[in-house]
């Protein structure tokens, strides 16, 4: 007799909507990141920063278009869940954190609540595009499951770069 055992650990399993979010993020981000990798490898361009952000009570598409720079690329990941990614060219980790702080502040000033914000700095092409995207989405899912809103959270590409205690928030609200 074959017996099927379900996994009990929530740390191993992801909900269906989280898996679909990862797939959608991969589909929508891959080509753009490939282009930035090309620029980094063959055109000697600097690093870039990615910010994944969502909020409640404020549709982000229009304000994010206003708040971003001309050289930033806004990508709608899921309009129903209100999840977006901004890719900032020639931006280092510190600049990305500061921009994420500004975004969170603007969201709050415009009536948004429950904002989730993940920032990651890509300074080389050593990691696969898949790892970059999945690392960011995995961090987003974890932070959202823990309900850690209105803070900038970092998705580190290398485990050894991850601090023992999380460096949060460059934004504590107004």
Q: Is residue 30 part of a domain?
A: yes
Contact (Cβ atoms closer than 8 angstroms) between residue 88 and residue 70: no
Q: Is residue 37 part of a domain?
A: yes
Give the per-residue pLDDT at 70. 94
pLDDT higher than 60, residue 5: no
Q: Is residue 3 part of a domain?
A: no
Which range of residues forms the domain containing residue 120?
A: 16-161
Q: Check which CATH number belongs to the domain holding 136 and give it.
A: 3.30.70.270
pLDDT higher than 80, residue 1: no
Q: Is residue 50 part of a domain?
A: yes
Q: Is residue 67 part of a domain?
A: yes
Give the per-residue pLDDT at 174. 41
How many domains is the chain partitioned into structurally? 1
Helix (H) or strand (E) holding 113: strand 113-122
> For 69-95, what is each residue's pLDDT tens digit?
999 999 999 999 999 999 999 888 899
> For 129-144, what is each residue's pLDDT tens digit?
999 999 999 999 999 9
> For 15-62, what is each residue's pLDDT tens digit?
888 889 999 999 999 999 999 999 999 888 788 999 999 999 999 999
Q: Is residue 172 part of a domain?
A: no
Q: Is residue 168 part of a domain?
A: no
**In whole angstroms, what is the distance from residue 22 CA to residue 40 CA?**
25
Nearest CA to 55 among 83, 78, 19?
83
CA 108 from centre of chain: 18
**In whole angstroms, what is the distance from residue 151 CA to residue 92 CA?**
19
**In whole angstroms, what is the distance from residue 107 CA to residue 53 CA?**
10
Cβ neighbours for 32, distance < 8 A, ≥ 6 positions apart: 73, 75, 87
Gyration radius (Cα) of the chain, Å? 17
What tokens appear for 46 in the block?
Answer: 């600097």
Report how far apart the first and last C-alpha atoms of the chain are (Å, whole number). Answer: 61
Helix (H, G, I), strand (E, B) or coil at 9: coil
The reported pTM is 0.85
Mean predicted confidence (pLDDT) in 97-117? 95
Q: Is residue 95 part of a domain?
A: yes
Cβ density class 156-168: b for 16+ within 10 Å, e for less: bbeeeeeeeeeee
Comparing 46-55, 103-112, 154-163, which segment has the lowest mean pLDDT? 154-163
Give the per-residue pLDDT at 14. 77
What tokens appear for 24 in the block?
Answer: 């959608």
pLDDT higher than 50, residue 170: no
Helix (H, G, I), strand (E, B) or coil at 150: coil
CA 155 from centre of chain: 8
Mean predicted confidence (pLDDT) in 96-102? 94
Q: Cβ of 60: how many Cβ atoms within 10 Å?
A: 22
């Amino acid at each position: 007799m074959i017996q099927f055992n379900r996994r009990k650990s929530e740390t191993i399993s992801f909900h269906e909507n989280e898996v679909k979010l990862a797939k959608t993020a991969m589909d929508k981000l891959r080509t753009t990141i490939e282009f930035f990798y090309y620029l980094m490898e063959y055109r000697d361009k600097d690093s870039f920063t990615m910010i994944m952000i969502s909020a409640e009570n404020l549709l982000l598409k229009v304000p994010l278009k206003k708040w971003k720079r001309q050289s930033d690329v806004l990508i709608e990941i899921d309009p129903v869940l209100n999840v977006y990614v901004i890719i900032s060219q020639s931006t280092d980790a510190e600049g990305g954190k500061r921009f994420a702080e500004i975004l969170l502040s603007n969201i709050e000033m415009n009536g948004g609540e429950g904002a989730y914000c993940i920032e990651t700095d890509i300074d080389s092409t050593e990691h696969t595009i898949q790892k970059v995207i999945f690392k960011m989405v995995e961090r987003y899912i974890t932070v959202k499951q823990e309900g850690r809103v209105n803070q900038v959270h970092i998705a580190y590409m290398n485990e050894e770069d991850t601090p023992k205690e999380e460096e949060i928030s460059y934004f504590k609200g107004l």
